[in-house]
Amino acid sequence: MTERYLEDLHVGDRFESGTIEVTENGIVDFAHDFDPQPFHLDLDVAKRSIFEGLAASGWHTAAMSMKLFVTGGLRLAGGSVGLGVDELRWPRPVRPGDTLRLQTEIVEVRPSRSKPDCGIIRIRNETTNQNGEVVQVFLTSLLVRRRPAN
Amino acid sequence: MTERYLEDLHVGDRFESGTIEVTENGIVDFAHDFDPQPFHLDLDVAKRSIFEGLAASGWHTAAMSMKLFVTGGLRLAGGSVGLGVDELRWPRPVRPGDTLRLQTEIVEVRPSRSKPDCGIIRIRNETTNQNGEVVQVFLTSLLVRRRPAN
C-alpha cells in the first residue's frame, strides 16, 4: 500500500475501507470497559430502552471506524494524526451482526502555517452498515507530511 | 446517586468525575484493537514520532472520558444518550502513568421539539491529567427525560 504525502492528495479524492463485523460480545465488552450503561450491557434492558435492542456505544462505533480508517485505502506517510473532530453524529444504531464499512472523502487540502514540512487535510468519514445506511459521520483534520525534496 | 431529570439541570451547573489511571498496557491494547498505528503500539517508534513517546489514541482518550462521564457526578434518568459531538480536540498527549479526570459543565438546557417528554442539554466535557492540563475537550448534546407528572 502506497504511503501518500500532501502532494498526492486532492479535494474530492475518495477512499474505501475493508469491513468489520459487529458482534454482541464486542458491543458488551466495549461497553463494560468504557460505557457501562445498562442499555449497552443487557439485552432485556436494551429492548425496553430508547434503542429498542442492543446497540453499540457511539464511542465504540467511532473506535471501529478508526480501525477501518487506519487499515483502509488512505495511508498517510507518518501515520494518521488527528487534530480534532467536528460534527460527529450517529444517525442510526449499530447492532450485533452489522457489517461496517468506511468511506473517506477529502474536502480540503492546505499547507500548515506552523510546520513548513507538513500540510493539513480535512476529510469527511462516513461509516455505513450492510444496508448502506449511515451509522456515523464526522469531519476531521489530519496532519500530513509534504514529500521530502530529493 | 440521584438520577436527574431535565427540570433538575441548569446552565452553569458543574459536575466532577472520579479518576482513571492510564497504563502502557491499556494504551497498547486499545491501539491494537482500534488504532493499530506503530506510534501507539511500539515504544521505540513512538519515541521517534511526532508524539515523542507512547501516547494514547485520541479515541481511547474519548472512550476513557465516557467511562468517567457515565460513572461521574451527572447521572441522567434513562441514561446518557448522546446526539452528537462537536469541537472534539486533544490539545496534549495522554501518557502511560497519567491520571485522568473529567469536568462537565452544562452550557444549554432546552425542551425537545420532537419528543414532548424529553429535553436536550448541551454540555462541555473537559478531561484533564494529574497536572491539571487539558488533554481533551468537546461539546455534546444529550437527550434528557422530563420529570414525569405525579
B112 and chain A in contact, CB less than 8 A? no
Q: What is the pLDDT of residue A139?
A: 98
Characterize A83-116 residue by residue with b for buried, 16 or more Cβ atoms within 10 angstroms of its Cβ, and e for exposed.
ebbbebebeebbbbebebbbbbebeebeebeeee
**pLDDT at position B54 over 80:** yes
Q: B86 CA to chain A: closest CA distance, Å?
A: 5
In 3D space, the residue among B11, B23, B9 whose CA is nearest the CA of residue B99 turns out to be B23
Given an 8 Å threshold on Cβ–Cβ distance, is B66 in contact with A143?
Answer: no
Q: Which three cell numbers stand for residue B81?
A: 444518550
User: Whole-angstrom Cα distance, residue A71 to residue B41?
Assistant: 15
- The answer, as to whether pTM is greater than 0.90, is yes
Given an 8 Å threshold on Cβ–Cβ distance, is B57 in contact with A66?
Answer: yes
A111 and chain B in contact, CB less than 8 A? no
**pLDDT at position A1 over 90:** no
**pLDDT at position B127 over 80:** yes
Confidence band of B50 (pLDDT split at 50, 70, 90): confident
B99-111: strand order across its sheet: A14-21, A99-111, A118-128, A134-145, A81-89, B81-89, B134-145, B118-128, B99-111, B14-21
Q: What is the pLDDT of residue A81?
A: 87
Nearest CA in chain B to A51: B81
Given an 8 Å threshold on Cβ–Cβ distance, is A86 in contact with B87?
Answer: yes
Nearest CA in chain B to A64: B34
- ipTM of this model? 0.94
Q: What is the pLDDT of residue B6?
A: 95
Q: Which three cell numbers stand for residue A50?
A: 430508547
Which of A81, A114, A118 to mutate to probe the B interface, most B CBs <10 Å? A81
Q: What are B7-35's pLDDT values in tens digits? A: 999 999 999 999 999 999 999 999 999 99
Given an 8 Å threshold on Cβ–Cβ distance, is B63 in contact with A34?
Answer: yes
User: Whole-angstrom Cα distance, residue B54 to residue B68?
Assistant: 22
Which domains does chain B possess? 6-145 (3.10.129.10)
B30 exposed, middle or buried (CB, 10 Å; 0-12, 13-18, 19+)?
Answer: buried
**pLDDT at position A124 over 90:** yes
